[in-house]
Structures are given as structure tokens and as C-alpha cells.
Amino acid sequence: MISLLIAIPLLLAFVSVMWKRLAKPLFFLAAVTNMTVLLASWFPNSVEIHVMGSWKPPFGINLVFDNASFYAALVVNFFFFLVSLMPNLVESYGVSLMLLMAAANGFVLTGDLFNSFVFMEIMTITAVTVASRRENFYNAFKYLILGGIAGSIYLLATIFAYTATGSLNMAHVSMATISASSLVAITTLYAIGLGVEAKLFPLNGWVSGVYGGNDLAPVILGTSVSFAALYMVGRLFGTVFHGSGAGVLYTLALITIIIGEVAALRQQNLLKAFAYSSVAQAGVVVAMISKGTSRAMGLAYFHLTNDAVAKFVIFLVAGFLVYNYKNLNGVFKKHKVLGASFSMATFSLVGFPLFAGFQSKLRIIMELFSMKDYLFPAVMLLATLIEVGYVVRWNVKLWFEEETDEKADNPIVAGTLALILSLLLVAVFIKPEIFLGGAMKMGNALADTKDYIHGVLSVVKGGM
Amino acid sequence: MALSTLLISLLVTSVVIYFISKVSWRAGAILNFLIGVFLISYVFALHIGVTSNLGTLFGQKLQLTWTHASYYFSAVSLLVIVSVMLFAIKWLDSQKYPAAFNMFILMMTAGSLGVFMAADLITLYIFWEIAVLSSMLIVPMGKKESRKAAVIYAVMSASGTYMYLYGAFLAFQRYGTLNISEIARHMVSDPSTGIKAAIFLLLASAGIAKSGIFPLHTWLRIAHGNAPDAFSAVLSGQLVKLGSYVLMITVAAIPSLRVFGNIPFYSGIPATNYFLIALGATSIIIGTLMAIKQDDMKMLIAFSSVANGGYILIGIGTMDPMGFEGGVLHVFNHAIAAAVIFMAFASVVYRTHTKKISELGGLIHKMPITFLAYLFAIISLAGIPPMSGFISKWMIYQALVRKGMFITAFIAFFGSIGSFLYVFRPLAGVFLGQLPKKYKDVKEVPPVMWIPMMTLVVISLVIGIWPFPVLQPIEGMRMDYGIAPTMRIADSSHWLIKGFSGSWNPVLVFNLFIIGFVIAYILYTMFPRPKKVDLLAPHKEEGAPINIYTGGEYIYTPELYHYNTKFYAGFERMYEKHPSWEKVLEMLAKFFHDLGEWVHGWFFRPSPSAYTFWVSLTILIVFWVRW
Amino acid sequence: MVYIISIILVGIGVYGLMTQKNLFKHLISLSIIDTAVNIFIVATGYVNGGKAPIYTKNFPSFAIGRFVDPLPQALVLTAIVIGVGTLAVGASLLVRVKEKHSSIDVENMKGVGE
């Protein structure tokens, strides 16, 4: 049944190529079906695999469905579902979005290294088309080149893994003993290859142009696609390579945090400012993943979930504002609901109490201290300090500056969604288990290589 | 009602208040005031030692507990806040965002109370952030400049807060608990001085930032100076005291004398405390000198808050029974005085729409009650008997002299004399002197606005004569913290405050003052009154008495001849070219900004070529490092 | 030997990406890197003296040692398709870049601000 997550959007994408007008409702249909499929198979709590073409692992391609991939798929599809509720955002990008959805699901679910490369490339190509909305061609092109290079490196890493172990199956690879020098090559290349999508410094040059270029790209790329990419970081470095190469990730991630925040501070464009902030948050998540323990990884994905929800609201509101107003001073006086949601989301981003970000940030710092890591909390708090600076500056500008005469209609669907999500952030502060439970399960599943290997290589369920 | 229920329902109510205020902001303001009155009665009725659970976070119990310190600080805060809430019922009609103001001020109240009740460092942090966040959202409701002020306030405050958070987790990592008294217990037996000092200073930095102690004092000028006028009273009178509370926690609740007994620096005071005292002394100097220079009356008092924060820190920092009580009592005195002064200014601005001293004058005849409130408040602020402000300063001096800290004592005296200078400037410039023509129709503010001011003045006066109601909880705090628990300072049965070199009988002093006042009044009635002349526009009005000449020249710019322009020019000239700490911090901010520019230019803007370059470089570096 | 070819090709591709100002040349360079990686993949599957992995009369039984590895070739097929996809999207984007910015030369493009 899990293969439906990939098959349905893919199928509907091809159908809608023929009947263009149907793209929007079909996208909605795909999103709803995927959500239904996921909700029907709530947290498997074991490792299930779905083999393709009756090839038993380690041969052939198989999809792995465990707590980690379930949670990741849930988050990914949730944001696609939200986007599908806003027809004016989807416009003529229904086909691209469906392909992106299929690719992101495939990327998350696959248990095969080469297959994950294929899905990553499809993800990049469709993400590029989404990024080119509103004539943002040059930035999309830059993204394509960078994504292409990353893809080549990822492919190279996969081939190295294949030559070193003779297998492409993740479970099988994780069992094999790889010589130290090959492991260095493989993990480094994977770190770089994934680094582009995971927004690691200095491979994240594309982020500001793509996120800042239109209103659709940040909403979906900054939430679903980043979650998928960061999931793969955890899967590869946590499950498959047992934390080899984590030092590289850790160092790059810490630099990413500071660079991202500093770049966000000077940014005058609302979308771009928060694009940089999402770079910094990705840094926090990667650094946390590189710690390798199940708790650390669980907290990383908890933080990422909070960040994704907040970013969705922020980008949604920011996209609306940037493309409806020339002068953003005091616009929230005209859009109180949007403004309140935006403020709550940004405060959650900073980690003020009463909002979800507080729960994840404090937990992360606490976990780091208990691991006797004193550098990362300091970096994180410094980053938060810079964050306070620009978050408050934007809020003050958007709420309190003298407004102009420009006027735009209140977007009802977007406003409602933003409000619900920002209230969700408050709910998560009060009851963190809403996200934390799933994220911790995800962390456990990612860290537990033995269970993963056992599940993939011995139990065969389902199949097509 | 349990403490946690109270705080949570306050937070929820604040949102309700917003929607009520949307319908009628005045109803919201009145409701706020009633809630405030309820809170005061609630606070007075609470028994010391009540605890309440807020929940668990990260496996740690979050607890609220009601101590002498929470009682004292909450009562002082509520006094200030409720006065401002009453004041706001009328004052808000000059404001643009009354509904949001009502909501945030109640939220801030809940946050502040939570800080004072917190039994562990994280609960304190949570409520601290709530208080900071909601107050930070009120600041930009003022004039244009206030927008920038909010950002600076938020960043400065955050810089202290995050250092505090780091310290809190450092303590948690080492001692396995977040409970303040538990941490205190562990710290006493911890052999590593370095870590203890780090925790101590990190925790204290939140207090340093919040109470405007050098080097994180610069936000006070811009934030207090530009916030909505009545809210400055809360900022300066109440929020700054959150910082003093945290400082008191770090210095006294964690028994610094015992914890750092192995690093005595001077006269039994550990180096860590002495470091804080030095910061306090620096703040007194900076605050005083800068306050003397200000032409903006709100900024003037903002700097005076810096100086007074210094007094509080010095007093508490000595950990001497006398100094501690003096410092804590000064919290009360400064809170009341600053609140009254800022409310008086708010009244002046409410009527005249300017806060520049040199544009005002002669309002004593138009706004006599406001003038009276201001007069009594500055008497207290400058530390002149019989107002309560004297007692706290006297106690601090006692401690300093006994400890033989003569440099600090000298600085404290200097600050006191300086405060005569700077509080006189608005007095002379705003209330005395000539009334500019454009203000000839100015009226006194309505009773809703002057009643809270006068109430606070009366309280301050009464406490100046009979300080024991305030000194009693302070003594309780001192006993809680175990600072010379056998010694009694406040002796209400003999009407005495016992010092080391003599005692102070406030009632007697008050009576002497009354006698002096009566004599002065008699003399005043016996001698002829001065004559009123018109200074500023001798040529404008026909028939006005022209008895001002400036070398026979026609006066085009009478403002420049106004005695309030460059009021202390001679004095200011002595430190005209002083180094500015504000500029240093601005440079730091600019550095980050430029760094962002640089990062953007190098890594984010370029063409695909540069991206490729960075990718290749990263691969090479990583391989090089790992092989 | 074949490895060296692919390394040289990657070098050419990276050089092209770093030095060229024309965006289309970037795309070509990317394509060269793709090809280089593909050549590398095929090369890894080669076994010295190995035969095509097809069962014939000469190889009636399972003879791992003498077959070349067939899997990389299958992978390369997919990779080539993906490379073509990338190329196509890139080219179509460049057409629009040219329309919007009136050039595809990095130095002559108009309206490329931040």
C-alpha cells in the first residue's frame, strides 16, 4: 500500500499532462489520497518493506516503511496537502507539484541508494520548475546547475558505496565492513551531495534566490523538500554509515548556523531574510543529527517539524505580502489575522516561550549540555540573539510603521491556514507530545541500525 | 487560587482583554485596573511558603513558590503597574493602539509576577521572556524613534537572557537540578571556582542587561526615552526591577559570600561580587554624567535609572546586612520615584505634546498637581529626607563606609550630588521659569491621571516617615538568605533603623523637617514676592512689559536665550569629548551587518561559477582534513 | 585508463563551470561532468578479461568471475536519462532567461540584481 504514496501522484501527474485543466483538482486528490494512506497506516512501529518486482532484498529495489520514513512522509505530505488547499498558489504548477510530491515520497521511502539518487534528481528538476515561477528563471537555473553538480556527486558516492560493498541496498550496505579510506570518500561525497539540498554552507548559495523569487517555492521547498533532504541526512549518516563523517557535518553545520543568521540580519527582502533563517535552522538540525544518538536525532526532527510549520506560515504570509504590496510598512494593520499568525510563527522561530520553538530549542540545548558539548549551545544562542534582532525588526516594521494607501483583499484560505498552524504552534508548546512523540520515534528508528537491517533483510511483506 | 492557575488565567485573560478593548478600549482599561487591584489584594493575602506546580519540562519540575522576595518584588511591581493602569484609563485616548496596550500590559504583569515566583531557573526564564516579549511589543507604539528602540531593547535584553540561559544549563549539567535553592546548596560544596564563577556571571548577565548596568545599559536611553510615555513609568519603575531581582538571586539566593569565600578580594567581599560592584559604580558615573547632559526629559530619567540600578547592585553586591537591605529598599524607592516622574512627564506630554525640556517652562501655574508629584518624586530620587529615598541611600553608605570601600562610597556620593543636578533640570525647565505663549491654555490633567501619581507620592512619603512595613519583608528576605540572621536592623518598637555608626529615627527627622518647613513658610510670607515678567516674546504682544534686552539687538531666536538651552553648559564642557559606549555597541551591530553583507556577496549572490568553486573547495578541504 | 578519462572529463567540466561566462556553457559543462561520472560507473563494472553477462553455449553455468558486472550499465542508463532531463530543463530555462534578461552571458545580463 505504501507504494501508492509514490504511484498515485505520479500517475495523476501524467493524467493531468493530458487534461491540463484537471491539474489542480487532481493535485488535491493526490494529496488527500496520500494523507489518507498515511493516516490509515499510523506509525508502523516495525520495519516493513515493500519489494518491487518480487526481488527479495538485497536484490532489486525495495521501499522501507518504518517509524522514521512514516513520520518524514507524514510531514512531507502534510505540507503538500496544505498547498493543495490554496488553488491560487498552485496555479499552473499542479503537474510539477505532483511530480515533486512523488519524488519526495520516493526519496523518503526508498531503501535503495541508487533509487534515492533517481528520486533526488527528479526532486531537483521539479523543484527547479517550481522555483522558476514568477519569471525567476536565472535563480532557478543556478539552482539547477548546483543541483546537477550535487546529483553527480551523490551518484559518485553511490557508486563508491557499490564498489566498496557490492550492494546498493541501504540495509545491506550498512552491514558491510567498508575500508576506512572508502568510507571517508563515500561519506564525504554524500555529505556534499546532500549538502546542497540540506542547505549546508557553502553549498547553499541557491537558497536566497529560489526562496526569494516567488511565493510558491519557499512554501513547499522550505518545508516538505527540506524535510525530505534532512531525513536522508539522518538515514544515511545515522543508519547506514553509523555516524562516520559526522564531524564534517557538525563543522559545516555550525558555520551554516552563523552564516545563515548573519546573512538574514542584513537582508532587506522579507522572503529572503527568512530564507536565510531557514538555512540557519537547517544547520541546527544537521548539527544535531551529526550527534548520532537517537535522542539527539529525535530532537533534531522535532525542531525541524516546528521550524517547518513556522516557516510555512511565515513564507505563506510573506509571499502574499511581497506580491501584493510595494511598501510593506505597517501592512499588518490591514491584515490582522495574517499579522498575528506571522508574529506567532516568527516568535516560535526565535524560541520565545508560549510557542513550539521554545520546546525544541531548549530541549536541544539541554541535550547538548548533557553530552558535554559546550560549543554548539553557545553558537545556537548567539544565532538566536541575531534572530531576535531581525525577527523583532520585521515585526515592528510590518506592524507599527506608517502604512501606505495600498490595499489588497484578505486571502481567506491562506489566512485561515496560517492562523490554524500558528495556533498549532501554541498547542505544541503546551503539549509538545504532538510532534515530539513522532519525532522521537523517528530518531529511534534512525539510530537503530540493527532493527533496520533485520526488518529489511529478513521480513518480506507486501509487494506488487 | 494556586499560583500557577493565577498566572495562566492572567495570560488567558489578557487575550480576552484584547477583544474587549476592541469593542471599547476604556472598558478594557478599567477591567485591567480592577484586575490589578485584585492582584494587589491577592498578593497581600498570600502566605509565605506557598508553592505550586506548573508542570514538568524535560523531566524537571517547574515550580512556583512564594517567598519574602516574591512578596516584596511583586508588591512593588503591582504598585507601579496598577498606578499606570489607572493612569492609562484617561491617557490611552492619546494613543494609537489602546487595545494592544491593554493586552500586553496585563501579559507583562503575569510575566513579571511569574519571574518573582519562580523557584527554578527555567520557570524564571519562561516568565522572563513573556515579560520581555510583551513589553517589547508595547515599546514601538510610541513615536517614530520607538521602532528602532524596540529592536535595540529586544537585542540587548536577549543578549543578557541567553547568557543567563547558558549559565542555567551549565548549572543543570553540573548539579543535575534547576531549582535555585538546590543549585545554591550544590554550589557551596562545589570545589571548582572557575565553573562557579562562570555560572555566577552568566546568570547575573540577564540582570545586568535588564537593570541597565554597564556595559549593557545603552538600551535604557532609547527604549525608556521613546516608549509610549506612561509605559516608560512601567519600564523604568517596574521592568528594570526584574533585572535587580535576578541580580539579587545570583548574589544572595546563591550565597556568594560562602560560594566564593575562597577568592576574597577586598574587605571580605569576593572578587565576583566586587566585579559586579565595579560595574555598578561605573553605571552610577555614566548614568549621572549622561543624565546631566540630556535635553529630552525622558532620556534624562532613563539615565538616572542606569545610575540607580548601580546603587541597587552595589548595595546588594556588598552582601552586608545593611547594604543588602539598603539595596533592596532602593528597589522600592526608585520604582516609586521613577514611576511618578515618568507619569508626570506623560501628563506634561499629554497636554503639551513635547518632551524637550527647552521647549517647555512655567507649567507650575498650569499643572500644579503634576508639579507637586514631580517635586516630591525627585526629592525621593535624590535621596533627601524625609522622603523614603533617603533611607535606602543612607543604608548603602553605611555599608560602604563600614566595609572601607571608599572609592565606591565616593562614587556613590558623587552620583547623589549629580542627581541633584539632573533632577533639577526638568524641574527648572519644565515647571519653573517662563511659560511659552503656546501653552497658555494648557490645563491640569484630569483626576484619573493625577490620583495615581499622588497616591504613589503619599506612599513614598509615608514610608519615609514609617519605613517598617517595607523593611519588615526585606528583613524576612535577609533571614531567608541567611545574611547575618542574628542582626536586626529595623526596630519598629523604638522607631529606629539601627546602623553601625548611629541610628536613624525617621519619625524624629520628619518632625524636624516639618518644623523647618513651617519656619521657611513664615519667612516666605514675610518677604515681598517676585514680579512676573514676560521673557520670550517681548515684541510679539502689544502692551506686554518689555524689560529684557540683549545688547540692543532684536531677538530672532528667543529659544537660544532661554535659560534651559544648554542648562549645564559649563559642567557639560568638562566631559564633552567623552568616549561613547553606545558607539562601541553600534560598531558591533554594524560589524555583524557588514559580515552579513560580505557573506551575501561571496556566497549567495554570485553566478554558478562561484557556486562550483565553493563546492570544489569544500570537497578538497574535507578530503584534505579527513585523510 | 578509463578512470583517468573520467577524471580528466570532470576536471574539464569543473573548469568550464568556473571560468565560463556563458550560461549555456555552464550547462554543457554540467553535462560533461555527468558523462564523466557515467563513464566512471561503466568502468567500475568492468572485469579484466570478462565477457558480457549473457548465458551462451560457452558459458552455460553461473560464472561470476568471468562476467563483467552488468548492474553499473543498468544504472548508467538511468543516469543518462536523468542527465538528459536536467539538460532539457536547463535549456528551456535558458531560453526564458534570454527573453527576460536579453542575454545568457553572465556579464551582459540585465536586471539581475541581488
Cross-chain residue pair C94–A141, CB shorter than 8 Å:
yes
The answer, for C97 touching chain A at a CB cutoff of 8 Å, is: yes
Q: Give domain status of residue A53, yes or no.
A: no
Q: Are residues A252 and A267 in the same domain?
A: yes
DSSP states of B123-158: HHHHHHHHHHHHHHHHGGGSSTHHHHHHHHHHHHHH
Average pLDDT for residues B96-123, to the nearest whole number?
89
| Minimal CA separation from B76 to chain C, in Å | 53
Clarify whether residues A328 and A428 are in a common domain: yes
- Residues of B whose CB is below 8 A from A206: 611
Q: List the single best residue of B600, B603, B611, B612 to mutate versus C (max C Cβ within 10 A).
A: B612
- On chain B, the residues whose CB falls within 8 A of the CB of C106 are 607, 609
| Domain co-membership, A220 together with A253 | yes
Q: How confident is the model at residue C92 (pLDDT cuts 50, 70, 90)?
A: very high
Closest CA to A88 of A134, A43, A41: A134
Q: Do C114 and B605 touch (CB under 8 A)?
A: yes
Residue A320 identity: F
What is the structure's pLDDT at A77? 92
Residue A461 has a pLDDT of 46
Task: Looking at the structure, tell me whether residues A150 and A161 fall in a common domain.
Answer: yes
Q: What is the pLDDT of residue A103?
A: 93
Beta carbons within 8 Å of A29's beta carbon, 6+ residues apart: A12
Residues A191 and A331 in one domain: yes
Residue A49: C-alpha distances to residues A3, A242, B381, B562 (Å): 10, 21, 76, 87
Among chain A, residues having any CB pair with chain C shorter than 8 Å are: 114, 117-118, 121-122, 124-125, 128-129, 132, 135, 137-138, 140-141, 144-145, 148-149, 151-152, 155-156, 159, 162-163, 168, 208, 212, 269, 272
Does residue B151 sit at the A interface (CB-CB below 8 Å)? yes
Same domain, A15 and A122: no
Specify if B275 maps to a domain.
yes
Top-confidence residue, B538 or A405? A405
Q: Is the pLDDT of residue A419 over 50?
A: yes
Q: Residue C107 has what pLDDT?
A: 79
CB contact (8 A) between residue C17 and residue B612:
yes
Residue B413 sits at the vertex; the CA angle it makes with B486 and B286, to the nearest 5 degrees, is 110
Interface test with C, best of A99, A125, A155 (most C CBs within 10 A): A155
CB atoms within 10 A of CB A375: 11
Domain count of the fold of chain A: 2
Percent pLDDT > 90 in chain B is 8
* pLDDT tens digits for range A15-40: 888 888 888 888 889 999 988 888 88
The domain locations on chain C are 2-52+61-101
Residues of A in Cβ contact (< 8 Å) with C22? none
pLDDT score for A171: 86
For residue B613, the chain C residues in CB contact (below 8 A) are 18
Asked if the Cβ–Cβ distance from C14 to B616 is below 8 Å, we say yes
**E-strand spans in A264-396?**
none
- Indicate the range of A150-159, A418-427, B230-239 predicted with least confidence: B230-239
Residues in B 384-413 with any Cβ partner in A closer than 8 A: none
> Is the domain of B620 the same as that of B500?
no
- A463 pLDDT band, cuts 50/70/90, is very low
With bands split at pLDDT 50, 70 and 90, how would you rate the model's confidence at B525? confident
Q: Which residues lie closer than 8 Å to A313 by C-beta, 6 or more apart?
A: A341, A342, A344, A345, A418, A421, A422, A425
Instruction: Give B306 to chain C, closest Cα distance, Å.
Output: 43
Q: Is the same domain home to B490 and B567?
A: no
Are C37 and A152 in contact (CB < 8 Å)?
A: yes
Compute the average pLDDT of residues B49-73. Answer: 84
Q: Does A205 contact B610 at a Cβ distance shorter than 8 Å?
A: yes
Q: What is the mean pLDDT of residues B440-445?
A: 82
Closest to B135 (Cα-Cα) out of B52, B43, B233: B233
Alpha helices in B527-580 (DSSP H): 558-561, 569-572
* Chain B interface mutation, best of A160, A362, A379, A436, highest count of B Cβ atoms under 10 Å: A362
Integer CA distances (angstroms), B195 to B200, B202, C107, in order? 8, 10, 56
Q: What is the pLDDT of residue B551?
A: 64
pLDDT greater than 80 at residue A257: yes
Interface contact flag, B609 C23, Cβ < 8 Å: no
Interhelix angle B68-91/B468-481, rounded to 10 degrees, is 140
Give me the pLDDT at residue A155, please.
92
Q: Do A125 and C33 touch (CB under 8 A)?
A: no
- Residue A302 CB neighbour total at 10 angstroms: 27
Question: To the nearest whole number, what is the mean pLDDT of chain C?
Answer: 83
**Rounded Cα distance, B101 and A205, in Å:** 42
Same domain, A105 and A184: no
CA distance A25 to chain B (A): 37
Q: What does the pLDDT read at residue B449?
A: 85
Cell numbers for A286: 544537521
In a domain, A250, yes or no: yes
Q: Mind listing the pLDDT tens digit for each residue in B396-438?
A: 888 888 888 888 888 888 888 888 888 888 888 888 877 777 7
- CATH number 1.10.287 is the correct assignment for the domain at C2-52+61-101: yes
Do the domain assignments include residue B581?
no
Question: From the CB of residue B537, how many other CB atoms can be counted at a distance below 10 Å?
Answer: 14
Q: At what angle do helices A294-322 and A433-447 cross, to 10 degrees?
A: 130
pLDDT of residue A127 exceeding 50, the answer is yes
> Is residue B542 predicted with pLDDT exceeding 80?
no
| Predicted pLDDT of residue A101 | 92
B508 and B538, same domain (yes or no): no
Domain identity same for B462 and B539: no
Q: Report residue B368's pLDDT band, with 50, 70 and 90 as the boundaries.
A: confident
Between CA A433 and CA A86 the distance in angstroms is 29
**Do B409 and B539 belong to one domain?**
no
Q: B314 with B400: CB under 8 angstroms?
A: yes
Across C54-66, average pLDDT = 64
Residue A243 forms contact with B (CB below 8 Å): no
Q: How confident is the model at residue A176 (pLDDT cuts 50, 70, 90)?
A: confident
Q: What mean pLDDT value characterizes chain B?
A: 84
Stated length of chain B: 627
User: B431, B362 in Cβ contact below 8 A?
Assistant: yes
For residues A97 and A29, state if they share a domain: yes
Check residues B386 and B339 and name the one with the higher pLDDT: B339
> Residue B534: its pLDDT value, please?
55
Name the residue among B187, B220, B218, B186 with its Cα closest to residue B201.
Answer: B187
User: Is the pLDDT score of C52 beyond 90?
Assistant: no
pLDDT band at B545 (very low <50, low <70, confident <90, very high): very low
User: What residues have CB less than 8 Å from A25, skipping those under 6 apart?
Assistant: none
With CA atoms as reference, report the closest residue to B215 among B588, B591, B571: B588
Residue B341: pLDDT above 70? yes
Chain B residue with Cα closest to A205 = B604
Q: What is the pLDDT of residue A66?
A: 87
Has residue A302 got a pLDDT over 90? yes
Mean pLDDT of A404-412: 83
- The residue of chain C with its CA nearest to that of B603 is C114
CB contact under 8 A, C109 and A138: yes
> DSSP secondary structure string, A168-233?
-BHHHHHHS---HHHHHHHHHHHHHHHHHHTT-TTS-THHHHHHTT-SHHHHHIIIIIHHHHHHHH
Q: Does the structure show a pLDDT above 50 at B529?
A: yes
Residue A5 lies in domain = 1-43+71-109
A76 and A116 part of one domain: no
Residues B140-172: pLDDT tens digits? Answer: 888 888 888 888 888 888 999 999 999 999 888
Backbone phi, then psi, for B52, in 5-degree steps?
-160, 140
**Do B487 and B537 have their domain in common?**
no
Mutation pick from A55, A123, A142, A152 vs chain C, by most beta carbons of C within 10 Å, is: A152
Contact call for A144 and C37, based on CB within 8 A: no
Burial class (CB in 10 A: 0-12, 13-18, 19+), B357: buried
Whether residues A233 and A340 fall in one domain: yes
Question: Quick one: closest CA in B to A150, which residue?
Answer: B615
Angle at B223 between CA B221 and CA B227, to 5 degrees: 125
How high does pLDDT run on average in chain A? 87
Amino acid found at A45: N
| pTM: predicted TM-score of the whole model, two decimal places | 0.90
Residues 6+ apart with CB under 8 A from B404: B267
Note the pLDDT of residue B412: 87
Q: How many domains does chain B have?
A: 3
- pLDDT at residue C89 in the model: 92
Burial tier of B540 (Cβ tally within 10 Å: 0-12, 13-18, 19+)? exposed
Cα B155 from Cα B145, distance rounded (Å):
16
The answer to whether residues A167 and A97 belong to one domain is no
Q: B151–A385: do the CB atoms touch at under 8 Å? A: no
Which parts of B527-607 fold into alpha helices (H)? Answer: 558-561, 569-572, 581-599
Of all residues in chain A, the one with the smallest CA distance to C78 is A118
Domain of residue B50: give its range.
3-514
Number of neighbours of residue C37 by Cβ within 10 angstroms: 24
Asked whether the predicted pLDDT for residue B570 surpasses 50, the reply is yes
Instruction: Give per-residue pLDDT as tens, A421-431.
Output: 999 999 998 88
Chain B residues in contact with C21 (beta carbon < 8 A): 607, 609
A91 plus A209 within the same structural domain: no
Per residue in A322-332, pLDDT (tens digit) is: 888 888 888 88
Task: Give pLDDT tens digits for A351-396.
Answer: 888 899 888 998 899 889 888 888 999 999 999 998 998 999 899 8
Considering only CB atoms, which chain A residues are within 8 Å of B615?
146, 149-150, 153, 192, 196, 202-203
Q: Is C72 on the interface with A (CB under 8 A)?
A: yes
pLDDT reported for residue A421: 92
Counting as contact any 3 or more CB pairs under 8 A, the partners of A are: B, C
With CB atoms and an 8 Å threshold, state whether C17 touches A122. Answer: no
**Segment B270-275 mean pLDDT:** 86
pLDDT of residue B544: 46
